[in-house]
Structure formats: structure tokens, C-alpha cells
Amino acid sequence: MEDKTKIPLTLAEMCGLWTQYMNDSLAVCVNRYFLEKVEDEEVHPVIEFTLNTAKNNISFMEDLFEKEGFPIPIGFTDQDVNPKAPKLFSDSYVLMYLRHMSILAMQASGGVLGLATRPDVVSFHKNVLNKGVTLQDLARDLMLKQGIYIKPPYISTPETVDFVKKQHFLAGFFGNKRTLTSVEITHLFFNIKTNDLGKSLITGFAQIAQNEEVKQYFVRGKQIAQNHMDTFSDYLTKEDLPVPMSWDSNVSNHTTTVFSDKLMMYHISAMNASGIGNYAMAMAASPRRDIALKYTSLIPEVSMYAEDGAKIMIKNGWLEEPPQADDRDHLING
């Protein structure tokens, strides 16, 4: 029988594995630090699970890369984290952070599974997806137990099934606006929460950044996140819906270096990419024109911020290149 692991990796499989390696090497650094600083005995095993999962993923990928003759990415190493630094984030924030990382892991592995074909790669990403689901369960259940899980708002249960009868359903700029749909509320709520998580993360990063340009970049990101939170919160407030609380108080005031500027810039870059994807989904799911247009106006702002971050990383030699297609013109012309 043909050994299907001898089939060359497709570009989609290369991309998925390379990105997974980068993210897992970052996760090892971050969770090593979290594990060193955690005080809550209930949060400890959640961090340990995340750390062990990332280590196991890296071990599998390094073996696969060696078999394929694929250069192992540098990613992030012991040089990018100082586990002995003072505690930067509260245990409650770490739990919320890990829950969000589980969502990103499920999204990423689900996307790769839609394109992967080689059995060993498919099996690996299925495992990543399953671990993401498990982490989501662990973090959510503990947050519910500790009373720190913030649920989306409640609305009245519909009494009947109905269909849209007027184009007024799409309006949003003039005249009376219809109330928000449950889908629109869900996306607004989720984007408030993700911006809040990002704001707290980037606040901590700004405090410990060594490079002044990086520090100012994080300060700018903090303000962007706050502005976007205010925008989304305003929609909920006008509907008399509760706005989720902020986590600002979960960042300590110390300034000792914890992570390298390289690691922090990559982390925020990944968060930017995730945010753009969230806004695009929210825009597509929001029939009311004013809401869809608002997302349309915010996406370029995040994109420009992400591009400026990439320029800083390139300037400092921190941006590792993903696998690329052959440059045929260069090969032909020498």
C-alpha cells in the first residue's frame, strides 16, 4: 500500500503547519511565564494543559519538518521570555485570555482542516481542534464557577416565526431604525470583549516594552481598542442592553521586562489579523446599513495599524518569512 505520508505537503498544509508552529512556540513562552506566576490553584491546571498541548504540538511538527527536509522555524525561544519577572496579569485575566486563545485555535484548525488532505496533517489538526475545544471547556467552566464569566445579553424569546416585509429592515441612516437582531447583538458583544482583552494585553505590553517605537505603537493600539469598544458599546446602550465590564484592573503596574519586543509585536500582529476577520464576519452578518458601514470604516484602520506594526518588525529584523512560492522570474534571469 502506498505510504501517503510520502506525499509532498501542499502549500496550504505548509502554511497551516508553519503558522501553528509560530503560534505554539509563542504559547510555550507565554504559558511558561503564566505557570510561574499563577496563584489560583484552580487556574494552574488550565495553564498547564495549554503549555503541554503547545509543547506536544511543537514536538510533532519538528519531527514532521525534519522528515520533509523543511527548515524548522525559529519562532520564539527561552530568549523571548523572563519567567522570573514580576506578575503582570491577574489569574482571572489569564483565564479569560486562555479562553480567547482556545477560540482562535478552533478557528485556525478548522480553516486548515478545510484544505488539508494528507492523513497525518489532517489528524494533527483534528487533534489541535479537539484540544482547543477542551481548553474552551476548561476555561469557560472555571470562569462560570468563579463567577467571572460575562454572558451575552438576554432578549425576549420570539412568540412567532415571521419574515421581513419591508426594506426598512435594512435602513440605518434615516428615519426610525429597527432594533438590533440577535446576530448583530452577538457580534457587537463579542467585538467589545475581544477589544477589551486586547486592550488589557497591549496595556501590559506597553508598560514592559523596551523599544520606544514599539512602546508608542502599543499606546496607539490601546487607544484604537478603546475607541472601537466605545463605538460598539454605544449601539448596545441605545438598545438598553448591558455593556460588558472592562478588565483594565487586571494589569499590574510593574515595568520589568517579561517578553521580548519581538514576541509582543508578533502577538499583537496575530490579534490584529483575528480582529479584522471578526469585523468582516460581523459586517456580513449585519443587514442594518449603519452597522455594516461602521465595520467597513473600522477594518481599514486596523489594517493600517497592522501594516505599521509589520514595518516595525521588518525594521528590527523580527518578521520571520512564511513559506513562499518560487520566484520564477528570478530563477530564469538568475
CATH number of 169-315: 1.20.1260.10
pLDDT at position 290? 87
What does each C-alpha distance from 299 to 95, 274, 275, 277, 296 come to in angstroms? 28, 11, 9, 9, 6
* Distance, CA of 209 to CA of 222 (rounded, Å): 14
Say yes or no: do domains 8-146 and 169-315 share a fold: yes
Sequence ranges of the domains in the chain: 8-146, 169-315
Q: Report which of residues 288 and 172 the model is more confident about.
A: 288
pTM of the model: 0.91
pLDDT tens digits, 158-177? 777 666 666 555 555 555 67
pLDDT at position 324? 73
Tell me the mean pLDDT in the region 247-271: 92
CATH number of 8-146: 1.20.1260.10
Tell me the mean pLDDT in the region 53-64: 97
pLDDT tens digits, 95-143? 999 999 999 999 989 899 999 999 999 999 999 999 999 999 999 999 9
Nearest to 260 by CA among 94, 21, 74: 74
pLDDT tens digits, 188-207? 999 999 999 999 999 999 99
**What's the burial of 176, exposed, middle or buried (CB within 10 Å: 0-12/13-18/19+)?**
exposed
pLDDT tens digits, 205-243? 999 999 999 999 999 999 999 999 999 999 999 988 888
pLDDT > 90: percent of the chain: 76
pLDDT at position 167? 55
